[in-house]
């Protein structure tokens, strides 16, 4: 029997975490598979376990008194999950809802393809389930930048052949647990905190000699931006300035880490152009905190050691 550890990280997202768990509990069983679910309460104001554990007694709830970020929260649960010797680890955003059979194509593909190190499903928006959020990923090597395929387009296909990917999204990232153990010890890099950590882990899995795949026969739904945006618009917009900092700093880190040396000039020119437009954009809209965070991110992105 193959064992899958499913990890969710929550930060003040009680309602969406409950919905995600409901969808996971609705999955049909399969005799050759077993699942264990771990939910990390990442310093939420109201602790999750007392509220949710009566409804989900089989779920393992872990509590951190401070927000460890997406990376730290997942790594906290990973340490416990590995003690139960799972075959696969599925990092799943708590603001998703899964289809009943989404897990089977992911496991089956990994079982049949030993050189596949990690996989992801097709992801559509929630509640607009007919619109794509992620149908694969792109890495533009000459500028060291990422993009996703299909964003905002109607989902016109159902199923399809697995497709090799340059990186996978952390929204639903399923990897071999053996890669988390010796000699690889692969996990999310805590320095990223959130954003681009999935790109970094993807490249390290490939460096270990494994491939990454999108499995279109597997599908989930995503409430995009739930954890990184506010429900009401403030002076700085919907996105918190700290998230802008992380997005900019980690963008630079990704470029530094994974741009080939012969594309360093084009990648640098792209970043100069990008930030030359972004800072005035925020200033003209009166979002001074975000402009300041971009400047800090440029400093930290360029000067932080990454070795």
Residue 220, strand partner residues: 98, 123
The number of folded domains in the chain is: 2
Whether residues 21 and 81 share a domain: the answer is: yes
Which CATH number covers residue 77? Answer: 3.90.550.10
At residue 229, the pLDDT reads 63
pLDDT in tens, 20-58: 999 999 999 999 999 999 999 999 999 999 999 999 999
Is the separation of the CB atoms in 66 and 90 below 8 Å? no
Residues 146, 136, 123, 53, CA torsion sign: negative
Q: Which among 222, 239, 258 is the end of a domain?
A: 222
Residue 156's Cβ-side half-sphere holds a number of Cα atoms within 13 Å equal to: 4
Domain identity same for 65 and 99: yes
Q: Kindly report, residue by residue over 118-157, the tens digit of the pLDDT.
A: 999 999 999 999 999 999 999 999 999 999 999 999 999 8
Q: Do 208 and 285 reside in the same domain of the chain? A: no
Residue 228: per-residue pLDDT: 62
Q: Which of 193, 222, 251 is the last residue of a domain?
A: 222
pLDDT digits (tens, 9 = 90+) for 199-241: 999 999 999 999 999 999 999 999 987 766 665 677 788 899 9
Q: Are residues 212 and 287 in the same domain?
A: no
Q: Does residue 207 share a domain with residue 121?
A: yes
pLDDT the model gives residue 158: 83
Both 268 and 283 in a single domain? yes
CA atoms within 13 A on the CB side of 152: 1
Quick one: pLDDT at residue 226? 73
Same domain, 211 and 66: yes
Does residue 246 share a domain with residue 194?
A: no
Looking at the structure, tell me whether residues 19 and 163 fall in a common domain.
yes
* 145 and 36 inside one domain: yes
Per-residue pLDDT of 153-195, as tens digits, reads 999 988 899 999 999 999 999 999 999 999 999 999 999 999 9
Residues 63 and 147 in one domain: yes
Q: For residue 191, what are the domain limits? A: 2-222
Q: Which of 303, 195, 292 is nearest to 251 (CA)?
A: 195
Q: Among 189, 205, 222, where does a domain finish?
A: 222
129 shares a domain with 51? yes
pLDDT of residue 82: 98
């Amino acid at each position: 029997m193959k064992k899958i550890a499913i990890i969710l990280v929550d930060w003040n997202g009680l309602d969406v975490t409950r919905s995600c768990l409901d969808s996971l509990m609705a999955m049909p069983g399969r005799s050759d598979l077993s699942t264990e679910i771990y939910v990390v309460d990442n310093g939420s104001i109201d602790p999750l376990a007392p509220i949710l554990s009566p409804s989900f007694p089989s779920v393992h709830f872990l509590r951190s008194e401070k927000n460890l970020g997406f990376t730290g929260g997942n790594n906290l649960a990973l340490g416990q999950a590995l003690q139960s010797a799972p075959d696969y680890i599925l990092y799943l955003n708590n603001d998703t809802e899964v289809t009943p059979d989404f897990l089977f194509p992911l496991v089956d593909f990994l079982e049949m393809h030993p050189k596949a190190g990690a996989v992801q499903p097709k992801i559509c928006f929630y509640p607009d389930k007919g619109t794509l959020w992620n149908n694969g990923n792109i890495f533009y090597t000459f500028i060291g930048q990422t993009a996703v395929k299909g964003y905002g387009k109607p989902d016109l296909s159902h199923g399809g052949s697995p497709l090799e990917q340059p990186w996978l999204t952390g929204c639903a990232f399923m990897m071999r647990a053996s890669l988390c153990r010796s000699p690889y010890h692969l996990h999310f890099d805590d320095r990223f905190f959130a954003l681009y950590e999935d790109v970094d882990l993807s490249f390290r899995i490939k460096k270990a000699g494994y491939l990454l795949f999108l499995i279109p026969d597997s599908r989930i739904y995503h409430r995009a931006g739930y954890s990184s945006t506010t429900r009401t618009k403030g002076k700085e917009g919907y996105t918190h300035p700290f998230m802008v900092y992380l997005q900019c700093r980690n963008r630079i880190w990704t470029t530094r880490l994974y741009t080939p040396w012969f594309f360093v000039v084009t990648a640098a020119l792209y970043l100069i152009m990008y930030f030359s437009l972004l800072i005035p954009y925020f200033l003209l809209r009166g979002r001074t905190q975000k402009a300041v965070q971009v400047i800090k991110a440029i400093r930290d992105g360029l000067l932080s050691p990454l070795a």
